[in-house]
Every structure is written in C-alpha cells, then in structure tokens.
Amino acid sequence: MSLKVRFALGFALVAIVTAAVVTLAVPPIVGRGFAAMEAAAGESPRGAGRGPGPQAGLHAQAVQQETIGNLVLAAVLAAAGASLLGVFLASRLIEPLRRLEAGAQAVASGDLARRSSVADRRDEIGALGRSFDAMASALEAEEAARRRFFQDAAHELKTPLAVIDATATAVLDGVYLHENRHLDTIREQSRRLTRIVDDLRTISLSEAGALRLAPESVDAGDLVRRECAALEPRAAAAGIGLRADAADGLVVAGDADRLRQAVTALVDNALTFTPRDGSITVSADRHDGRIRIAVRDTGPGVPIADLPHVFERFYRADRARDRTSGSSGLGLSIVSAIVSAHGGTVGVANAPAGGAVFWIELPEVH
C-alpha cells in the first residue's frame, strides 16, 4: 500500500472516530436535557394565561448549561481520543523513517555495510529504502575498489623501486661490478615507473573529464592495419600470428594517437595470454551503427567471474602471472579511459571456439 493511501486512511480513521464519538454521545445528552426541562415545566405552577414561572425558567437555563457542558466534554473527549489515535498512527508511519535515518547516520559515520532495513516494504518508503541500499552498496564497492587500488598501486610502484635500490646498493657495495647491464636494469625499472605514473595520470584525467584530445577524422581500418604492421615483429618473435581484417571507409572522429594507444594495449594484452603457435586477429567493421575494433586471440579465454572486472585498474585475471613482466597492470584501464573520452564503449567476451574477444565501439562519422 502506498504511503499516500496510508496517510489518507489514517486521516479518515481519525475523522471517523471523532464523528462516531460525537454521534453516539450527543443524542443521550440532548435527550436527558429535554427530559429534565419537560419535567421541570410539568412541576412548576402556572398562572392563567401565563407561561412557566421564574423558577421553571431558572431550571431550564441550568439544564441548558449542563447540556452544553456535556456536549463540550464529549467533543473534548472525542478530540483527545482522535489525537491519541493520530499519534499512534503517526508513530507507526514515521518508525521506518527513523530506521532509515539511523541507517543514513551509520553510513555517514563510515559503516558502509549498513542497510536501511525497510527495503522489503511495498510503498514509497520501501522504494526510498531500496534506493538507499543501492547507494550504500555502490559506496561500499567504491571504497573497496579505492583500497584495492592503493594497495595495488603501492605494490606496482614498490617492485621497480626495490629493484632500483637493490641494484644500486649492490653496485655501490662492490657486490656488482660497475657494468652497463646494471645501469640498464636501473633504466628499465625507471622507465617502468614512468609508464605507471603516466598511465595513472591518463586514467585520472579521463575520470575527471580533462583528458585532452586532438580530434580529427580517423580511418579505423587504416589504423588497424598500421598497428598490426608495427606489432608484427614482436608477435613473430613470440611465435604468434598477427593479422588485420579491416574494411575500408570506416571513419571515426577522435585523437589518432590515443586511439592507436588503445588498440596497441588490446593487442599487447592478447600477446601476453596467447600461447606460441597461436593467432591474433584485429578487425574493424560496422556493428549496430557504430564502428567496432575487435581483437580476437586463441588464448585460454577469461574466467567467467573475471569478465566484469578486466577493465578495472590493476586487475589481473591471471593472478599467478609474474608482475615483473614489465606491464603496469593498467593497459585495459587505459583502453576504457581513452574510449570513454571519445564517447565510445568497451567490451569483452569469450569466443565460442575458444579464446577471448576484446572490442571498442566508437560513433561513425558520415
């Protein structure tokens, strides 16, 4: 029952109770008053052609005053009873609001696991409670993601810093000779730190809506073919086949450098998980009125439970994979950030024949 109907019924019930009390009380009171007045009139002496005597008039006046007093008392009692009933009904109505208020105060104090406890109601308060619970759940998930992000960021930054510190200390202490290979290690880890910081900055700017783009008309098919040609030597070295399957005339509006960065990140992810003698296909075509660039691989695919999370920062479906491989763990997050800044969408699914398919979709320019 809706809250509006509950209030209407509550007010109607109060009015009915008041009217009932007055209706039941008035007839006996008025009847007794008239009976008393008639009795007084019958007992009073009358003169010829004259009305009731002075004593009878005083008695009638007293009866009238008593009747009025009884009516007022009945009205007061009816109002008091109706007020008590109203207070009871109001308390019943506001009790869920008090629980909702307590839940809001708990969430504001940091207890993000608190819920409204009124979500099972089928009125406006229940709808408000369900909205409150959804908000609390979103806040709880966001807080968990924030904590995980800081933990992962600290881990990602700590690894190269530890390598740099250990290598430099070993050289200074004479454990390692002053050889260029040790300097190469330090430079490599320094560049990795730079990549992580740059990736975090890109994601942060995108989330703030401040990622700068240089929009132009970009031929998606040509972009795919160029990126495949650039990455083919790396794929060949890993024993993986890489080919482009892109149609012509697929034009999107965007920053060519950023879009190339997104495609490269998708191919890089596929190269990481595709075994030797596997293959990767990068395609570009029209899909539901938009341009879709998809990367298909013949790797193991993505576990079903991980599919909703692969574009999260630092998320790794294969937790056993070595974190020192040079990846920042932000590649797919970068893809999502860049595509979102272009007004596009990202997606992932496991191919029926095996492997995974990652794609980006962008509005087509006609």
The DSSP line for 261-328 is HHHHHHHHHHHHHSPTT-EEEEEEEEETTEEEEEEEE-S----GGGGGGTTSTT--S-TTS-GGGS--
In a domain, 316, yes or no: yes
Are 220 and 350 members of one domain? Answer: yes
Q: Which residue has the tokens 């994601």?
A: 203
Are 228 and 326 members of one domain? Answer: yes
Are 222 and 180 members of one domain? Answer: no
- The set of residues, in sequence order, having a beta carbon less than 8 Å from that of 27 and lying 6+ positions away, is none
Residue 40 near residue 60, CB atoms below 8 Å? yes
Q: Minimal CA–CA distance to 96: which of 110, 116, 76?
A: 116
Are 93 and 230 members of one domain? Answer: no
Give dist(CA 134, CA 128) in Å, integer: 10
Q: Which residue has the tokens 């240089």?
A: 214
Are 227 and 359 members of one domain? Answer: yes
In a domain, 30, yes or no: yes
Are 202 and 259 members of one domain? Answer: no
C-alpha neighbours within 13 Å on the C-beta side of residue 60 = 14
Which pLDDT tens digit goes with each residue over 264-288?
999 999 998 899 999 999 999 998 8
Give dist(CA 162, CA 189) in Å, integer: 9
Strands 216-219 and 356-363: unpaired
Which pLDDT tens digit goes with each residue over 82-115?
677 767 777 777 788 888 888 888 888 888 888 8
Are 66 and 181 members of one domain? Answer: no
CATH number (domain holding residue 256):
3.30.565.10
Q: pLDDT under 50 in the chain at which residues?
A: 47-50, 319-326
Domain tally, the chain: 3
Domain of 169 in residue numbering reads as: 145-207
Are 223 and 359 members of one domain? Answer: yes
In a domain, 38, yes or no: yes
- Phi, psi values for residue 211, rounded to 5°: -75, 120
